[in-house]
Amino acid sequence: MGKDEDDDDEEEKEEVAKAEAGDTGAKAAHEALFAENRYPSAGTCGTCHPKHYGEWSVSQHSYAQLSPVYLSLNNKINELANGSNGDFCLRCHNAVGANLGENSFVSNLERHPTSREGITCVVCHRINKAYNKVSGRLALVEGGLTEAVFGPKGNEELERVLDNSQDYKVVINPEEAGRKMHKVIKQFATLSDPVFCGACHDVTLFNGFRLEEAYSEYRTSPAAARGVTCQDCHMGKEQGVASGYEQGPGAVVGGVPTKPRKLTNHFFAGPDYSIIHPGIFPHNAEAQQLASLAEWLRFDVEAGWGTDEFEDNVPEGKVYPERWQAIDDRYDAREILNAQFKRLEWATQMRLELLRNGYVMGDIITDRADSGGIAFRVQVRNGTDGHNVPTGFTGERLVWLDVTVTDKTGAVVLRSGDRDPNGDLRDGHSAYVHAGVTPLDQNLFSLQSIFVTQNARGGEIEHVIPIPYPVTSLPRVLPSVRSLVFTGEPPTERNHKKGIEPLGERWAEYKIDGDELTGKGPYRADIKLISQPAPINLIVAMQSVGFDYGLTPRQAGDALIAGAQVLWQREIVFKVK
């Protein structure tokens, strides 16, 4: 990096620091964001692309850097590996931050505003090379708003707009007054190819450990054989299935829509959801103008600030943080938050649509139901032919069956898939199971992968965070010293997958012995298939490094549990006399 670029970095950091240090900081920080001349923000792009911005702003891509779970996991891995993992996680979650040379460990409150946007517009549309499976080391093309962007179709429609610039009221000279826009769209067909997604959605660590394999799974799938792409299923009309695309203007420039074309959905539903303050996420230009991130964190949503019920009954002498002393500001904030809650609810429904398309509760078969006992099986199918379910970071992903069998009085005769007092399933990573306080769930059906590392004596042991511990040196993540062509995994650690292959199925089996029955039939089984993005034991494993935004481990865990979704629920009756 040259001296001029270093100076630019310092100037940008000073602008943001000054903005955040002001009385409210919000307006100045917002202006600094839009003045960005290396990596334009999504908010800037949203001026002409409101539909795409609206979808992206509440997406997992836009949450990728803001997630406190991700940030703490990055910090914990580096703590365990003595810093040797470096910025490995940052470069996919925050390519702008990686290109700016940001420290991967710092709070989001201290980052450049554009880097907080995670996988933002320029992360895909300022890429000009097909990187293939590089685990996210992506060099973004720098430039202000008027510089070239890259798209799958090229420049034809933009040329028409620029030829009619008086109608569209745009300028492409950065020094000229007016509504600025990019001067050219260079064709980059790779954007529509699954290999583009594979740059981040196939993650292999320095030592050859295959952490995520979504793209590799896709390459050998029936969907790939049929020519269906990642984009067809994840950017179409319906989340998770190839359902065609909407048609409409790709942009609205100066209030004038461009010609209709294929519109891709930029929401990209997945299993994660926000556990942070709704003033910070979803991304919202009005929220950013009203208050800084630090100020939003001091706005008490649960207490009801900005609602008539609260404001009409404020006790005398109530003290507020400086930014929220004015009642009008609290009402303005509440109006923004009400809009945020609606957007989060929309995202919840889109996530449910995706997960229900991916996971299907199939047949339930009763093998036995008499005085000698009850035996039944539950089928769980992969509803997609594009990749395994779960996919991606499968060591985090919880998808399990919650089963309760009761007699006619409501007495429980079988329980599986319930939580321990900490909020974990009663599996091998439950602290209560380890302590002997809660019994191991012998019937548990869970699709969560297991991370396994080699111990000092050559055997294997499960880990929540898979950092191998060598005998002769400090733990580090280093390149493998041997070829992995035949094994595909390093000898020190591996991912024991338990997911379901494309269009595959798994059967959960449950048995109740006759002496466990109460004799008060009929018996009913309530069966739920539930999804949660990460287990509570991961939160516990990371708590030594803390959580961004001042979250406590309990707050983070409670938010994860509260967001868990029931994908399917069925009931079956066993008529045992």
| pLDDT tens-digit readout, 121-177 | 999 999 999 998 888 789 999 999 999 999 998 899 899 988 887 788 888 888 888
> Which candidate, 188, 185, 184, places its Cα nearest to that of 199?
188
Q: Kindly state the average pLDDT of the residues 63-90.
A: 95
Report the alpha-carbon distance of residue 482 to residue 492 in Å, rounded. Answer: 12
| pLDDT tens-digit readout, 182-223 | 999 999 999 999 999 999 999 998 888 899 999 999 999 999
- Mean pLDDT across the chain: 91
Report the alpha-carbon distance of residue 577 to residue 574 in Å, rounded. Answer: 9
Report the alpha-carbon distance of residue 288 to residue 114 in Å, rounded. Answer: 12
Report the alpha-carbon distance of residue 524 to residue 510 in Å, rounded. Answer: 13
Report the alpha-carbon distance of residue 382 to residue 360 in Å, rounded. Answer: 6
* Domains located in the chain, CATH noted: 36-263 (no CATH), 356-574 (2.60.40.2360)
Q: How confident is the model at residue 13 (pLDDT cuts 50, 70, 90)?
A: very low
What pLDDT is stored for residue 533 in this prediction? Answer: 97
Q: Which residues contact 434 (CB under 8 A, 6 or more apart)?
A: none
CA 5 to chain centre: 32
Report the alpha-carbon distance of residue 546 to residue 69 in Å, rounded. Answer: 10
> Which candidate, 326, 248, 338, places its Cα nearest to that of 301?
338
| pLDDT tens-digit readout, 451-504 | 998 876 778 888 899 887 766 678 888 787 777 877 777 888 889 999 999 999
pLDDT greater than 80 at residue 556: yes
Q: What angle do CA 208, 102, 206 make, to 5 degrees?
A: 5
pLDDT greater than 50 at residue 16: no
Contact between residue 49 and residue 125 where contact means Cβ atoms under 8 Å apart = no
Contact between residue 59 and residue 267 where contact means Cβ atoms under 8 Å apart = yes
Tell me the sheet residues that pair with 416: 403
